[in-house]
Amino acid sequence: MQNANDISRISFKWNYLTPYKKAHEASMDVETSSEIPQTPNETSTNSDDKRNKEYQAIISKYGSNIQKFIGQNPSVQTPEQKMAELNTAKIEYVGVDFQDLEFNNVDLSQYTEAFKRIKFNEKTFAKVSPEHLPDGFNPLEILEKGKTIGLGIDEAHNMGYTGKGVSYAIIDSGTLDSNGKQHNDIHFKEYNISKSADKSGLDHFHGRAVSYIAQEIAPNADCYYYATHNGENMNEPVLDNLKAILEKNKSLPDNEKIRFVSMSMPLYGGEEAKEVVKELEKQGVWVYYSGCPEDNQFGYLEKINPNGNINDFDNFQIHIGGENMLYVNSGDRTVADWSSPTAYRHDCMASKSWSVPVIAGYYTLACQADSSMTKEKFLELANKTAQVKESTKPIRVGEGDNSVQISRTTETVPIKIIDIKALLQAIEKEKKA
């Protein structure tokens, strides 16, 4: 925890903590602006002491990362005020990140609506007693259940399908934390960093998250990782990584070649990148990125009840997508975080970023079941074996992943959810025929 009296190292934005910074700077100016000893101003000293005590109380209540939260929400004074605002709004996804806060001795029980869809980690509510949380909100249970995609993946593993003997690749942000350590629950056959990557932007949770999702589905597959930074100027590093995958695949034996490239991002790199993708496809590699030809065939699911049965297909509904699409679960997921080798974070919102590694994992299992698998055959089987369910549709404002879900329709539409167990059983049946 930050020492309340040592605030010189804190980066303050203009918010309600700014006076503490100003008071500290002012006192430093008085001490250094003259060689003549100054008589302490009793009123000023008392005021500084009061501010420091207030700041210490804020840190004690919310954790040392409170300034980051306030800095992102300059119109809000406290997390409770933000929750109160959300509690009265008819918004299904709040889009507020509580993952950096550590609430302490705070009564949050009244914010029932605000807690329907929030982002948090293992520390956020660890010091809040259960009676001070909204009814039905069990953070530890949600975190634990979110670690698996559910929907029959355990049964697929019990059938012997874990991705063993199949290779795939991921292009995403770096997965090493700020101390250069890897998360305990992700592993790679090879870990590569683009020579063009901005090294200052490598340590980001996104890469760890997509890796965890793919490896939770296909834990024994060989994953070749190609890191880039997170941010701007992505063309050169992504192109470098695509070229590296192409060359790597040429060097691998036929039974070890990379079968899928997971990119939870657009295809950076312009026309040259498109040409590399074509070469990879000639090698039998399915390159999946935002905007690829298959992208409009998939939608993302969210849970109706985050505490509900993770294997109950009826507990899932549309987050983004339309009719006649294949849906995969990517909402209410717990993923590896970047802050330490054992850290996890829970993301309430479904997204394309979390969906692409699901498809990578499913396809890897299908390739284990049938070494001649192609994306065309996979899509055909996925449609034939999908669970057909009814779902209400979200009402959204805005576009794509940046849109806000404000409510849902009362009417339902049929949706098709990939049933990986049934898909693998269909492959086995075909092989026996």
What's the pLDDT score for residue 25? Answer: 40
**What pLDDT digit, counting tens, does each position of 260-295 carry?**
999 999 999 999 999 999 999 999 999 999 999 999
CA distance from start to end of the chain? 64
Question: Residue 86: CB partners within 8 Å, gap ≥ 6?
Answer: 94, 96, 111, 113, 114
Mean pLDDT over 360-377 rounds to 98
Residue 37 DSSP symbol: P
Span(s) in the chain for CATH 3.40.50.200: 153-432
Comparison of pLDDT for 190 and 56, the residue scoring more: 190
Q: With 90 as the cut, is the pLDDT of residue 364 above it?
A: yes
Q: How far apart are CA 298 and CA 320, in angstroms?
A: 9
Q: Judge whether 375 and 363 are in contact, CB under 8 Å.
A: yes
CATH 3.40.50.200 fits 153-432, yes or no: yes
Question: Residue 236: CB partners within 8 Å, gap ≥ 6?
Answer: 194, 196, 269
Angle at 312 between CA 307 and CA 317, to 5 degrees: 80
The model's pTM: 0.82
Residue entry with tokens 């657009």: 266
The two structure tokens encoding residue 256 = 């070890």
- Residue 287's closest CA among 310, 302, 269, 301? 269
Residues 398, 404, 410, 411, CA torsion sign: positive
3-state secondary structure 226-281: EEECCCCCCHHHHHHHHHHHHHHHHHCCHHHCEEEEEEEEECCCHHHHHHHHHHHH
- Residue 214's closest CA among 375, 374, 369, 353? 353
Q: With 80 as the cut, is the pLDDT of residue 404 above it?
A: no
Amino acid at 85: E
Q: With 50 as the cut, is the pLDDT of residue 5 above it?
A: no
**What pLDDT digit, counting tens, does each position of 283-336 carry?**
999 999 999 999 999 999 988 887 889 999 999 999 888 888 999 999 889 999
**What pLDDT digit, counting tens, does each position of 174-215 carry?**
999 878 899 999 999 999 999 998 888 787 889 999 999 999
* Chain mean position to CA 218: 18
